[in-house]
Amino acid sequence: MTSGASTTPVLTGDVQIIRSVDEGFCPPLRTTADPRFKGMIFAVMGPPASGKGTQCKRLAVKYDFVHLSTGDVFRDLAKRGTELGLRAKEFMDKGCFVPDEMVLSLVKDRLGQADVKERGCLLDGFPRTADQAEALLKEVKVEGVILLRAPDKTLVLRATDRRIDPATGDIFHLKYLPPPKDIEARLVCRDRDDEHSFKQRLEVFHGQCRRVLPMFSGSVWQMDATLEPDAVFKNMAGLLDKIMEAKMAKNSSGNGGAMPAASPSCSICFDEPANFLVIPCGHQCGCEECLTAVQKHSGRCPICRASVTAIQRVFRCGRDSGENGEATLSKQVPAKTHPDIQDKLDTKVSGQAGDGWSDDETDDVQSTLEDAKLVIVPCDDIGDAGGEVNVVVSAEIFDKATRSPVDICCVVDVSGSMSAEAKYEDEQGNLKSDGLTVLDIVKHAVKAVLYALKEADRLSLVAFNEKASTVLELTQMTEEGQKKAIAALEAMIPGGQTNIWAGVLAAMDSLRSGAQGPDFSARQQAVLLLTDGQPNVVPPRGHLAELRDYRDSHPGFSFQLNTFGFGYNLDSDLLLQLASEGNGTYAFIPDAVIVGTVFVNSVANVLSTLSQSATLNLMLRNGAEFTGPVLGGFPSLEESWGRAVSLGALQYGQSRELVVPLRLPPNTSGQLKPYLEAVLTYPKAGRNSSAAAEGTARTSSSDAKLGAARADAVTVGYAAIAAAADGKGKSAQEAVAALCSRLAEAVSATGDASGEAAVDGRLTALQADVAGRMSKALNGKERFNRWGKHYLRALMRSHQLQVCTNFMDTGLQLYGGSLFRTLRGEGDQIFLSLPPPVPHSKMGRETARSRSPSPKMTTYYAGAGGGCFGPSSTVCVVSRSLRQLQGTGPLVEALLGLAGSRLPVSEVRAGDVLRVADGIARVRCVARIHRDPAQLLVTLPEGLTITRQHPVRIDGVWMRPCNVPGRCYVPTASGMVYNFVLDRCHVLVVDGVECATWGHGLQGNVIGHPFFGTDRVVHGLSSLEGWEDGRVTITGSIRDDNDEVVALLGPSTPTLETMSHKSRSLSKFSPLLRVAASPILF
């Protein structure tokens, strides 16, 4: 290596062997100090796993340096129980930095001791922050910094297979330096060496370097740490020898020797020379490309955060030039920097935290302002007095109109159980089958996936039973590619056992092998795994261990794993764990009727993904303290600088909230000081991006209260699942009941002064989920074990990630941006318009005459109840005076030629003449139906607001509003919806859409109903108060055990107990009747 020259590693992708200090080239122990280095101080910096500690030990042996590592010193002091050690331990146990004043006090004291003045010192990993560097330079002379460099990918590979012997401190590598057999059992992983936390450590280190290195401008020497440890040591020793030779020559001749050139490097990319300075602060800290990006986006100096008005090229000549024509600059006097906010992560210019090697990969500086922003607000007003409070950190992700190409691998279970008939319940509660198998329905759903992809997208298919087979390699979804995919699908035949890991492994290999090359490496990649059972072929170390090992072995491979559990014989705990580890969702499909719904939502979420693995970094400020773990079930790592929380995938147009319990100090200054700094980091299109914010607000908001309620629900939900699975079902029920009470109080607290119902439907929608099926899932051990545990895991995961995964759960309907809704609408149409599959039970066995009709795929695309109009929906009132007018004829045609007047349905009266599908009809009765505000309504593009299953006719086809493309969901703010009984036609035009009214008498898969579609509803209305006046209010219904409505209830019902008694008297005729105080669900 040429002294002073920047090294350029040749990267082969091989793991560099980590050897112990005693192996290879190691000089004999020096018994006396090297007089050349008397009192000299060098700082050695390098990322984790770069070999910094090992090299410092070897250099200390060769030159008899004092080796000073502050981390090791504090840990040793804490272990020995010294006062300073115990004080430092308090901070380290909380995941906080040891305060600078304590670190500086320790270092200052140590550097002043006689052995350092006699032998010199190597500072291992110090200074860490710009403040520490500034304080150090005021106290002592630092000869320079030796910086070890290596690509992040190499470092991650080194770290994941490292093991440490707690008895001796020796480090081994499982593959390249295996430990002796007799100590294998006691080896442990090093703290924070798993991939996720290790990458966070790397990001923190790179952020620190950007602040610290410019303090030593002109005295930073870079070393290639990808070489063998012996070669790195020789290079470092050669550098130190050359530095001393130059100093000795200067002292003897007075002319100065040729010092190794140490051209200052850009503090952002570390690759290019720092040949530009920023104006007006004057820090020479970057290259032209990086500082131009800084000026354009953040506008702040990377060193002191002063505003940048211009950048200026610096030219050096004459005796300032080094051997290679590079400037050898004197140290700059650093401007005063801000606190630790500048020493963590660069929040505006990103992408430089990783591999800064020009021949490894290019890291472009890019702005993230168009993608995300952070907002930090307390859940309750806290005031200047301070105290304990939950604080919401919201990552608000901006929406997008178009999407980028993706790669998807569908992993299909073809074990023998997939040949079972796919059964479903019809609207009368009867169990039915179209002769389709579970595999038939799954194939149809996969076809919807492949037709939702564009030509630039790619799809692969894996089929698995006891073994896995990639039946379609990654293929572009051109017309020809779609034909190949369909052929591969149709060739799948059920049989054999269930080996989930084999399917997942084949899927990951398929995506990874296809991600090579610049055209594909930055794509979002997703695995969709669908199985109907529990694996009976299991890896010896378990599924999660294998998945983590795979990711550790391929650190550059990023993907999302979404799991789908079909039926009741599931290991839903495993499916949830796999989805969580894979930053994806888990969906529970109890029967065939919701296969299409779940798949369409899932694919829309994948296609609208901004990033597959976001991390939120939390750092305390100005005396604030963490008082507990983050809420909401997110995995969190305690770091010396704070906390790193894994958020999973982020979708365009959908925020993600995290709740952090804090203790805020009193605010005595009269000015709002930050108490929390948050930095969101996320990979996007092959680059690292970020956004940041500081929390100063002490007043709450409705969004913060909602975020707190959601986190509470998810935290309680996961705990309830664990408790019930452990046989503590009663305590789980009590916890959810208490949650229901808290949500009810939160909803009540949002009401206005008059005490009217809350208008914020988001809380009431969440309340509906908790008080509804979430509570029901825990109502009994048998129910919990059959479906409750599977359903709760899926519901909690969806709320945790704030994604919509079905049309049934009220609270989920509020999630998703416009891109998601557009993609979901397209998926709806695709699933419903595909030719239906041919039932296997009928293939080749029935004649054309006897064959049953093809199944209608709307059967397998369930919506979520309802059957009335929102109060603001409008109808055309042709006349309010022509009582006896018939529905057709010349006069009718003349009236239809007039515009008429549009009125909200809430203002329609009996006797009004309204426009219907074939002319006009008169209103016989207006039905006002009480409806829980938590129940959502669908708003169609035409403006119609309607309950989700009320039949509408579009382009001559009856469908449910929840299946109409372009729909969105809104709360029932008024708590009231409407329907009508007409004298004819019974197809009313509401906001331009043809809608069925009660008692219509029509039959069909969507339109038919045994109560609301027949005269039974008219008889029910006629028995209620208000029928004679043409205006009936409905508060509930009587249902049988099949949940079928048999009668309606009005406000004159004395009490629920009385009606219960009445229902008991009715039981003489129908013993299965029960009272339902809930709103009508049609």
Contact between 15 and 231 (Cβ < 8 Å): no
Domain presence at residue 151? yes
Neighbours of 313 (CB within 10 A): 8
Question: Which residue among 75, 110, 190, 742 is the active-site one?
Answer: 190
Q: Is 10 exposed, middle or buried (0-12, 13-18, 19+ CB in 10 A)?
A: exposed
Q: Does one domain contain both 608 and 622? A: no
In the prediction, which pLDDT does 1082 show? 38
Annotated catalytic residue 316: no
Per-residue pLDDT of 602-655, as tens digits, reads: 999 999 999 988 999 999 999 999 999 999 999 988 887 889 999 999 999 999
- Most confident option among 544-548, 596-600, 685-689, 1064-1068: 544-548
pLDDT at 625 (0 to 100): 94
Burial of 316 (0-12, 13-18, 19+ CB in 10 A): middle
DSSP code of residue 55: H
Does residue 104 lie in a domain region?
yes
What is the percent of the chain with per-residue pLDDT over 70, rounded to a whole number? 74
Residues 444 and 378 placed together within one structural domain of the fold = no
What pLDDT shows up at residue 844? 40
pLDDT at 499: 94
Q: Which of the following is catalytic: 162, 242, 687, 789? A: 162
Whether 690 and 733 share a structural domain: no
Catalytic residue of the set 57, 58, 163, 201:
201
Number of domains composing the chain? 6
Give the burial string for 298-312 (b: 16+ CB within 10 Å, else e).
bebbbbbbbebeebe
Are 995 and 869 in contact by the 8 Å Cβ rule? The answer is: yes
Query: What pLDDT was estimated at residue 880?
Result: 63
Q: Which pLDDT tens digit goes with each residue over 672-713? A: 889 999 999 988 876 778 899 999 999 999 899 999 999 999
Give percent above pLDDT 90 in the chain. Answer: 31
Closest CA to 946 of 989, 908, 1005: 989
Q: Is 921 a residue whose pLDDT tops 50?
A: yes
Residues 590 and 733 in one domain: no
Q: For the segment 284-311, what is each residue's pLDDT rounded down to a tens digit? A: 667 777 777 776 655 666 665 566 667 7
Q: How far apart are CA 834 and CA 826, in angstroms?
A: 12
Query: What confidence tier does 473 reach under pLDDT thresholds 50, 70, 90?
Result: very high
Q: Is 158 a catalytic residue?
A: no
SS3 of residue 503 by DSSP: helix
- Here the CATH number for the domain that contains residue 640 is 2.60.40
Question: Do 525 and 635 share a domain, yes or no?
Answer: no
Q: Is the pLDDT of residue 34 over 70?
A: no
Residue 426: pLDDT above 70? no
pLDDT score of 376 more than 90: yes
Span 19-40, average pLDDT? 52
- Among 6-10, 188-192, 769-773, which is the least confidently predicted range? 6-10
Contacts of 549 (CB under 8 A, 6+ apart): none
Distances (CA, A) of 238 to 1, 51, 62, 243, 262: 9, 17, 12, 9, 15
Element (H, E) at 793: helix 789-801
Q: Which tens digits make up the pLDDT trace of 531-577?
A: 987 898 888 889 998 998 888 788 778 899 999 998 888 899 999 99
Q: What is the CATH classification number for the domain harbouring 537?
A: 3.40.50.410
Res. 843 pLDDT band, cuts 50 70 90: very low
**431 lies in a domain?**
no
Same domain flag for 922 and 1013: yes
Q: Specify whether 186 is catalytic.
A: no
Active-site residue among 19, 52, 89, 1016?
A: 52
What's the average model confidence in pLDDT over 217-226?
Answer: 82
Residue (of 921, 880, 878, 922) closest to 900 by Cα position:
878
Q: Does 576 lie in the same domain as 461?
A: yes
720: containing domain: 701-749+760-802
Residues 684 and 735 both lie in one domain: no
Res 899 pLDDT > 70 = no
Looking at residue 201, its pLDDT comes to 79
Helix H, strand E, coil C: the string for 690-751 is EEEEEECCCCCCHHHHHHHHHHHHHHHHHHHHHHHHCCCHHHHHHHHHHHHHHHHHHHHHCC
Question: For 305-308, which contacts have Cβ atoms below 8 Å and span 24 or more sequence positions?
Answer: 305/337, 305/338, 305/342, 306/278, 306/280, 306/281, 306/335, 308/278, 308/279
- Span 669-674, average pLDDT: 84
CB 155 within 8 A of CB 197: no
Predicted confidence (pLDDT) at residue 863 exceeds the cutoff of 50: no
Q: Is residue 546 part of a domain?
A: yes
263 in any annotated domain:
no
User: Do residues 648 and 636 touch, judged by C-beta distance below 8 A?
Assistant: no
Residues 778-830 pLDDT 10s: 999 998 998 899 999 999 999 999 999 987 787 888 899 889 988 887 887 77
Q: What is the pLDDT of residue 522?
A: 67
Whether 190 is a known active-site residue: answer yes
- Are residues 689 and 738 located together in one domain of the fold? no
**Distance in angstroms (rounded) separating the CA atoms of residues 408 and 507:** 9
392 and 416 in a single domain? The answer is no
Instruction: State the average pLDDT over residues 985-1014.
Output: 88
Residues 169, 134 share a domain? yes
Q: Over 60: is that where the pLDDT of 167 sits?
A: yes
**Are residues 666 and 712 both part of a single domain?**
no
**Residue 568 is assigned to a structural domain of this protein:** yes
**Does residue 840 fall inside a structural domain?**
no
Residue 383 lies in a domain: yes
Average pLDDT, the chain: 77
Check if 1074 is active-site. Answer: no
Could you say which of 57, 128, 458, 922 is catalytic? 128
